[in-house]
Amino acid sequence: MRTFIYTLIISFFAILWTAEVSAFPFFKSKSKVRTSCTVMRGKNTVSDQIEYRYGVVAGQNIATIKSKKSDSQDIITGLVGGVAMQAIWPKGFVLQPEILYSQKGCVFTGNPLRYDMDYLEIPVKAMYRLNLADVKPFAFVAPYGAYAIRLTANGEAISDNVFANKINKFDFGIGVGAGFDVWKIQLSFKYTWGIAPVLDDVYTVRNKVLTFSVGFFF
């Protein structure tokens, strides 16, 4: 488990380092002719036009599951937060990968039985943003992958529950959403459908989450 978390952290910082290297023009000294032509034409290379920003994200999940089980399912609320990076192109395209701690789960109202599933999640938002004066609205799709790092049923560890061997700790799916940027602040909402089954049982059980979040980018 520690190896998995360390790998994700190292991967995130590798993304930051790669972004900084691509933004730093140390190759220009080796291509004076190309540089002079670029200046004369008044244009920059594609990499020079990309803006990079880094920030933090926090918000709230309203989560439940999709299941064919006869018992009705109710929502639970949980926190979500982490770090993010943006690569911004001039014509409105923005790529925003994130590393988040995300609390999900549901309540079966018939039993009753409450499942809490906390994930380490990596969504990648592919956004299109309108570059207006002060407020920049956007829409996005966001595929994600996640790994459950904490699982409880009615407050007890899943390892002590009868479903311990049926829980799938890996999750992946896709989300859609919208929001807007104002100054360095980003407000957004996202609805996420899980594709991987959470519970390997006779029923199809998948995560469904509505997320409201605020980000601050430097």
Q: What is the pLDDT of residue 90?
A: 87
Question: What distance, in Å, lies between the first and last C-alpha atoms of the chain?
Answer: 31
| Mean model confidence pLDDT for the chain | 80
The Cα 126–Cα 139 span in angstroms is 8
In this prediction the pTM is 0.76
pLDDT of 2 higher than 60: no
pLDDT of 110 higher than 80: no
Pairing verdict, β 135-153 and 93-108:
unpaired
- Whole-number CA gyration radius for the chain: 21
Domain boundaries, the chain: 1-48, 50-217
What is the percent of the chain with per-residue pLDDT over 70, rounded to a whole number?
A: 71
Tell me which of 207 and 16 has the higher pLDDT: 207
Hey, is 200 helix, strand or coil? Answer: coil
The answer to whether the beta carbons of residues 106 and 75 sit under 8 Å apart is yes
Tens digits of residue pLDDT in 21-53:
444 443 344 444 344 334 334 446 667 789 999
- Identify which of 22-26, 39-43, 131-135, 178-182 has the greatest average pLDDT: 178-182
pLDDT band (50, 70, 90) for residue 112: confident
* Mean pLDDT lowest among 28-37, 66-75, 113-122, 172-181: 28-37
Q: What is the pLDDT of residue 67?
A: 74
pLDDT of 86 higher than 80: yes
Domain 50-217 has CATH 2.40.160.20: yes
- b/e map 90-125, b = 16+ CB within 10 Å: eeeebebbbbbbbbbbbbbeeeeebbbbbbbbbbeb
- Identify which of 44-48, 57-61, 205-209 has the greatest average pLDDT: 57-61
